[in-house]
C-alpha cells in the first residue's frame, strides 16, 4: 500500500522540536521551606471577568461591584484621551463573528495577565525553590516564574502574559511582570493597556483554602496613575485540572484559524 | 526578534516546504536510514554528566526530576510510528512498536482504513498540530519533557502547552462522562517503575502526523523506568477492543536522555497567535474536498 506524507507535517514537527527544546531545570523537591505554600488548584469565583469596575447589568452579564481598590473611587484612572478606545473596544464585543469581534479572547488568544487569573477557569500552582509554575486549565497555558533571578528579562522580546520575575515577601509571592505586548485586555468590558504596561501581582494565603490576590497596573500611556485590584481566590477540592482546548472549539464550530493576524505588522 | 516573530517565521518556513514538494513514503522496504526505536540513541539528545546510579527520593523511589528528550536527533516517528524509510526532512526508522513482534499496529480493518485516509496529503489539514492544538500523550515523547514531583503529583511538562498532572494517591478514574484530550492519568509505583494508568479520553488526539489514533475508549498504561541517572525508558501499552485486535505496546524513538537545563527561561506558547500560514493547508484541503469544515467524525 502506498502512503503519502506531506512535508508540512514533518516541518511542523521540526518546528515543534526546535521551539520547545528548552525549559528550566528543577533539581529539588517541594514544598519549599520557609515560604508560603501556595500549591494546589485554585479558582476565582467572581464577576471580575465581566468588568473590573462597578457595573450595571448587560446582556448575559450580572450587575456587580468592581475590584479596583486603589484609587478609592473604584474607577480605572484612564487618561481622558484613552477612554474612547475602551468604549470602542466594548462596542466591538457585540459582533458575533469571531473574525470581527474585538475581544482578543474570542479568537482564543492568550488572555494576558492578570485577566487569566479571574477568567473563571481553575489553575494549579506548583512551587519549587527555583520556580513557581502556574498551570491554567484554560487552553492548558502555563507561566513559569523564576524566583530570585539575577537576570533581567530580555529587552527585545515581548510576551502576551508578560515576562515574569518573582520573589517572596513575608507570606506573599510577588511577581513583577514586564515586556507586555499591547494586544490583551483586562476584562470583557474592553478595559485595556498599552505595551508600556507593568504589573505587580501579589499572592497571599489568608487561610488554608483562600488566597488574596492583588495586581497593580502601571501604564503611563493609558493611565494617569497606577491602580490596584484585589480579590479572593478559592481552593478547588472536588476535582483537579481538566482541559479547555479553546482553539479546538473554534475548529469544531467550523471557524478556520486562518484570519489575518493584524498585530504581526504593527510592531 | 520576538518569540512571536520566530514562531511565525517557523510556520511560514514549514508551509513553503509544503508548497515546494510532497514526497511519497513507500510501505515496502526502502532505504531505511538511521534506526529508531530503542536501537537509535546516538542523536543529539546527549546527557550532560556521566551517568551515575538512579537518584532516589526520600521515600526510596527513583527521582525522575529533570529535563529529558526521547528524540534520536531528528524528526522521525512523529510522522509514522511503524518502520519507514527516510525522506525529505524525516529520518527513516525502525518501528516503535515493541509488541506485536511484527511492529505493525494491530488495527481492526475499519480503523486501518480510517488511519490511511487521515494519512493522505489532502487530509493533512485535519491534523490538530497544524492548528496549534494538543499533541497526544505519546507524541510528546519525541520532544523535550520536564519531570517533577509536587505534593502527591508527578508532573510532566511538554511541548505545545501540555502539562500532565498525575496524582499518585488516587484510586478511581473520573466518571465516564468527563472526556479529556490527554485522558485522566493516575500514577503508582511497581517496584522502581512509575506506572501511569489513563482512561477518559476523547476521540480527538492523533498519535502521529501519519494519522494514527487510539480512540476515546482506550485504556493506556505508561511505564517510566530509570535505567541510570541520565536515562529513562518509556513504554506505552494501548488497549481498545473497539479499534484494535489486541493490546499493543510502543516506545519513544530513542531512550529518554537527560538534557542540560537552561536557567530563567520561559517559552510562551504563542503557536496559535502567530499561526498565519494555516491558510495554505486549508487551500490544499479545499482543493481536494471543496469547502467544508470540520470533517464528519468517524467512530
* Cβ neighbourhood burial of B29 (10 Å; 0-12, 13-18, 19+): exposed
Confidence bin at B74 (pLDDT 50/70/90):
low
User: What is the b/e burial string over B188-218, where b = at least 16 CB atoms within 10 angstroms of the residue's CB?
Assistant: beeeebbbbbbbbbbebbbbbbbbbbbbbeb
Here the cell at position A91 is 462596542
Q: B-chain residues within 8 Å CB-CB of A1? A: 27, 116
- Higher-confidence position of A43 and A254: A43
ipTM of the complex: 0.83
Q: Which of A1, A2, A4 to mutate to test the interface with B (most CBs of B within 10 A)?
A: A4
CA-wise closest residue to B154 among B217, B222, B206, B249: B222
**Could you tell me what percent of chain B has a pLDDT over 90?**
44
222-251 in B: which are within 8 Å (CB) of A?
A: none
Whether residue B78 lies within 8 A of chain A, CB to CB, comes out as yes
Whether residue B288 lies within 8 A of chain A, CB to CB, comes out as no
Interhelix angle B3-20/A7-19, nearest 10 degrees:
160
**Could you tell me what percent of chain A has a pLDDT over 70?**
85
Q: How far apart are CA A143 and CA A133, in angstroms?
A: 6
B5 has pLDDT over 70: no
- CB distance A202 to A168 below 8 Å: no
Average pLDDT for B232-260: 95
The pLDDT score that the predictor gives to residue A25 is 34
Determine which helix (DSSP H) or strand (DSSP E) holds B281, and give its type and residue range: helix B278-289
Q: What is the DSSP string of B120-162?
A: SGGGGGG-GGGGT----TTGGGGSEEEEEEETTEEEEEETTTE
- Higher-confidence position of B178 and A251: B178
Q: What is the DSSP string of A200-255?
A: EEEEEEEETTEEEEEEEEE-TTTBSS-EEEEEEEEEP-S-----B-HHHHHHHTT-
How distant is the alpha carbon of residue B18 from its chain centre?
22
- Higher-confidence position of B177 and B158: B177
Say yes or no for a CB contact (<8 Å) between B17 and A109: no
Q: How far apart are CA A5 and CA B116, in angstroms?
A: 10
Here the cell at position A254 is 467550523
Say yes or no for a CB contact (<8 Å) between A30 and B149: yes
Q: Give the homologous superfamily in CATH for domain A26-264.
A: Calycin beta-barrel core domain (2.40.128.20)
A258 has pLDDT over 90: no
The pLDDT score that the predictor gives to residue A134 is 96
Range in A23-37, A68-82, B192-206 with the lowest mean pLDDT: A23-37
Min distance A195 CA to chain B CA atoms (Å): 14
Whether residue B283 lies within 8 A of chain A, CB to CB, comes out as no
The pLDDT score that the predictor gives to residue B138 is 84
Q: Which of A1, A2, A3, A138 to mutate to test the interface with B (most CBs of B within 10 A)?
A: A3
B130 has pLDDT over 90: no
Report the residue from B11, B23, B128 with minimal CB separation from A5.
Answer: B23
Q: How far apart are CA B274 and CA A239, in angstroms?
A: 33
Confidence bin at A129 (pLDDT 50/70/90):
confident
Min distance B79 CA to chain A CA atoms (Å): 6
What residue spans define the domains of chain B? Answer: 3-21+38-289
Say yes or no for a CB contact (<8 Å) between A16 and B2: no
User: Where are the strands (E) in chain B, listed by range?
Assistant: 23-26, 66-69, 97-99, 144-150, 153-158, 162-167, 184-190, 193-199, 219-228, 231-239, 248-251, 256-258
Say yes or no for a CB contact (<8 Å) between B143 and A27: no
Say yes or no for a CB contact (<8 Å) between A30 and B204: no
CA-wise closest residue to A110 among A132, A140, A133: A140
What residue spans define the domains of chain A? Answer: 26-264
Average pLDDT for B27-36: 29
Q: How far apart are CA B142 and CA A61, in angstroms?
A: 45
Say yes or no for a CB contact (<8 Å) between B157 and A156: no
B38 has pLDDT over 70: no
Q: What are the helix (H) ranges across chain A?
A: 7-19, 83-92, 246-252
The pLDDT score that the predictor gives to residue B178 is 97
The pLDDT score that the predictor gives to residue B99 is 97
Residue with cell 480527538: B204
Residue with cell 537509535: B40
Average model confidence (pLDDT) across chain B: 80
Amino acid at each position: 500500500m502506498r502512503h503519502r506524507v506531506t512535508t508540512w507535517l514533518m516541518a511542523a514537527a521540526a518546528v515543534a522540536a526546535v521551539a520547545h527544546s528548552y525549559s528550566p531545570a528543577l533539581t529539588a523537591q517541594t514544598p519549599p521551606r520557609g515560604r508560603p505554600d501556595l500549591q494546589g488548584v485554585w479558582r476565582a469565583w467572581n464577576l471580575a471577568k465581566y468588568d473590573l469596575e462597578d457595573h450595571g447589568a448587560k446582556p448575559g452579564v450580572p450587575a456587580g461591584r468592581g475590584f479596583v481598590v486603589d484609587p478609592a473611587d473604584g474607577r480605572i484612572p484612564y487618561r481622558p484621551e484613552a477612554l474612547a478606545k475602551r468604549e470602542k473596544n466594548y462596542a466591538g464585543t457585540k459582533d458575533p463573528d469571531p473574525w470581527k469581534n474585538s475581544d482578543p479572547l474570542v479568537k482564543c488568544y492568550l488572555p494576558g495577565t492578570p485577566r487569566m487569573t479571574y477568567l473563571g477557569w481553575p489553575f494549579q500552582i506548583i512551587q519549587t525553590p527555583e520556580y513557581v509554575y502556574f498551570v491554567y486549565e484554560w487552553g492548558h497555558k502555563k507561566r513559569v516564574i523564576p524566583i530570585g533571578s539575577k537576570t533581567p528579562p530580555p529587552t527585545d522580546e515581548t510576551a502576551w502574559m508578560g515576562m515574569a520575575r518573582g520573589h517572596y515577601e513575608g507570606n506573599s509571592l510577588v511577581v513583577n511582570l514586564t515586556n507586555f505586548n499591547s494586544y490583551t485586555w483586562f476584562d470583557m468590558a474592553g478595559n485595556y493597556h498599552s505595551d508600556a504596561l507593568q504589573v505587580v501581582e501579589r499572592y497571599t494565603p489568608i487561610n488554608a483554602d483562600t488566597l488574596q490576590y492583588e495586581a497593580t497596573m502601571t501604564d503611563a500611556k493609558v493611565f494617569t496613575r497606577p491602580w490596584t485590584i484585589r480579590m479572593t481566590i478559592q481552593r478547588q477540592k472536588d476535582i483537579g485540572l481538566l482541559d479547555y482546548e479553546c482553539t479546538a472549539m473554534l475548529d469544531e464550530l467550523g471557524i478556520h484559524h486562518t484570519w489575518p493576524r493584524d498585530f504581526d505588522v504593527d510592531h | 526578534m520576538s518569540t512571536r516573530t520566530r514562531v511565525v517565521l517557523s510556520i511560514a518556513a514549514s508551509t513553503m516546504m509544503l508548497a515546494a514538494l510532497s514526497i511519497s513514503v513507500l510501505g515496502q522496504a526502502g532505504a531505511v536510514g538511521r534506526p529508531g526505536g530503542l536501537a537509535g540513541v546516538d542523536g543529539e539528545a546527549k546527557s550532560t554528566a556521566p551517568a551515575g546510579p538512579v537518584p532516589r527520593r526520600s521515600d526510596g523511589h527513583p527521582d525522575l526530576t529533570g529535563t529529558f528528550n526521547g528524540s534520536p536527533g531528528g524528526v522521525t516517528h512523529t510522522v509514522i510510528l511503524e518502520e519507514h524509510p527516510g525522506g525529505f526532512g524525516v529520518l527513516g526508522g525502525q518501528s516503535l512498536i515493541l509488541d506485536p513482534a511484527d511492529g505493525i499496529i494491530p488495527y481492526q480493518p475499519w480503523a486501518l482504513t480510517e488511519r490511511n485516509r487521515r494519512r493522505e496529503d489532502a487530509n493533512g489539514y485535519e491534523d490538530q498540530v497544524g492548528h496549534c492544538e494538543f499533541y497526544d500523550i505519546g507524541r510528546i515523547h519525541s520532544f523535550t519533557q520536564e519531570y517533577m514531583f509536587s505534593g502527591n503529583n508527578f508532573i510532566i511538562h511538554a511541548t505545545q502547552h501540555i502539562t500532565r498532572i498525575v496524582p499518585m494517591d488516587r484510586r478511581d478514574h473520573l466518571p465516564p462522562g468527563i472526556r479529556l484530550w490527554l485522558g485522566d492519568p493516575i500514577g503508582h509505583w511497581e517496584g522502581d517503575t512509575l506506572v501511569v494508568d489513563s482512561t477518559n479520553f476523547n476521540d480527538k488526539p492523533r498519535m502521529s502526523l501519519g494519522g494514527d489514533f487510539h480512540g476515546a475508549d482506550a485504556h493506556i498504561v505508561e511505564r517510566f523506568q530509570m535505567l541510570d541517572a541520565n536515562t529513562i525508558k518509556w513504554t506505552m501499552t494501548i488497549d481498545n477492543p473497539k479499534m484494535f485486535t489486541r493490546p499493543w505496546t510502543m516506545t519513544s524513538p530513542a531512550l529518554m536522555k537527560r538534557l542540560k537545563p537552561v536557567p530563567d527561561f520561559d517559552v510562551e506558547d504563542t503557536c496559535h497567535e502567530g499561526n498565519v500560514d494555516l491558510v495554505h493547508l486549508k487551500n490544499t484541503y479545499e482543493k481536494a474536498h471543496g469547502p467544508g469544515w470540520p470533517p464528519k467524525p468517524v467512530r
